[in-house]
Structure 1
């Protein structure tokens, strides 16, 4: 699933008239790039959630025949549901372990290695992370298990399991998830996957996959478009 319903406020003025999913990097939209990225790992059935300028996204998918993939739409036109609510609404689509990713992420992370680790460890969810500076971090123990969350700007911290040796990792917006998570989610309506993971990590295996060595950029601001064009042809 590619999350493409956000308002893209950081990418103004482009998003005053377009969805961020259609922001162009070297002649290809973010959405096209991530559809083609998933294809590299044999993933050709994708669902995309839409809200902001939804008709432009559905139009681009139809015009380009899904760029070679079969793309379903999860319509959030009436209300954007955030990452957790958006996934929950699209839950009907999944019957096996699946990838969830933000549309404004570009990376060359080896997704097959991440999926293999997820399945080998029988995790409920595996989260792609890197060692980089950011304002918000997931917190993990030395067994790579999620135990909390920290916002270093506000000082807010949520510790769900007490551990003596905690490491903080920056989340990359890419998840591999076991569909049994849908039976465990207690939240309803509009909510974040961060809250889901924090509510489940005390009793379920939510792990990280560190891809610090790979290319990665969050194409969230106008200046990051130029940076992304240097990184991805």
Structure 2
């Protein structure tokens, strides 16, 4: 099984740590974030991984090269010239996903107790265009799903901005969920990205196509998830790993 780890971000919320290292190598406990995510993917049966890199890319590449005991295939998608955002990052990595099978995409700064093997198996059962792991945490931006767990729109509650391809869309009729930074995609997704620019958001892409394709939310029971995106989340993340 194949997976992609998003590790190209600037990590601005983790300054000053990310003034000298990429977010992916920020230590949580005795290991960097990236090592935790690679280990979780490997344990779930993902044996081919591509990592996109930009900020301090050489440090990430050197770390992986020095830890070949991961004993799985790991490649890199080089975004050093230009950050491509989430959608553009996936599109650039498309040659890696040439086996016509669904693949997983995982943010490097998300720690969870999610069973990734079960997530993949459940995706295969329903076989949607994409499965988006979500939860009900408090945020300002929500994805909006119908009673069949299908994506229908998006809302920013701070600005009241609403996005949806459906006419006369009323966000009050839909369930608000926060995207958790973990997703399974069909490899056929790339043909729908062909005419898009190099840089684009995967969420914006989903919102442009959710009236044509089935994009579903996945809400596991008892999901524990930590976004290790800010300095004050580092201690919580270390405690989570010690549970």
TM-score range relative to shorter protein:
over 0.9
Report what 2:160 is aligned to.
Answer: 155
* 1:58 and 2:52 aligned: no
User: TM-score scaled by structure 1?
Assistant: 0.96
Aligned to 1:120: 125
CA distance in 2 between counterparts of 1:66 and 1:12 reads: 30
The TM-score, its normalising length taken from structure 2, stands at 0.93
Q: 1:202 aligns with which of 211, 214, 221?
A: 211
Tell me how large the CA RMSD over aligned residues is: 1.3
The change in CA–CA distance for 1:221 and 1:212 in structure 2 (over 3 A counts) is farther
- Helix, strand or coil for the counterpart of 2:9? coil
- Report the 3-state secondary structure (helix = DSSP H, G, I; strand = E; otherwise coil) of the residue aligned with 2:134: strand
Of 176, 182, 185, 2:184 maps to: 176
Structure 1: how far apart are the matches of 2:34 and 2:7?
8
Q: For residue 232 of structure 1, what is the aligned residue in structure 2?
A: 241
- 2:226 matched to which residue of 1? 217
Match of 1:32 among 11, 30, 35: 35
Shift of 1:229: 0.6
**What is the alpha-carbon distance in structure 1 between the residues aligned to residue 91 and residue 57 of structure 2?**
19
**Counterpart Cα distance in 2 of 1:86 and 1:66:** 26
Tell me: CA distance 1:212–1:169, structure 2 relative to 1, closer, same or farther (3 Å).
farther
CA shift for structure 1 position 187: 2.0
Aligned partner of residue 144 in structure 1, secondary structure: coil
2:17 equivalent to 1:14: yes
- Where structure 1 has 5 or more consecutive residues not aligned to the other structure, the ranges are none
Aligned residues: 233
- Post-superposition shift, 1:120? 1.2
Residue 159 of structure 1, CA deviation: 2.3
Q: Which runs of 4+ in 1 moved over 2 A?
A: 66-69, 159-165
> Structure 2 stretches of 5 or more lacking a match?
none
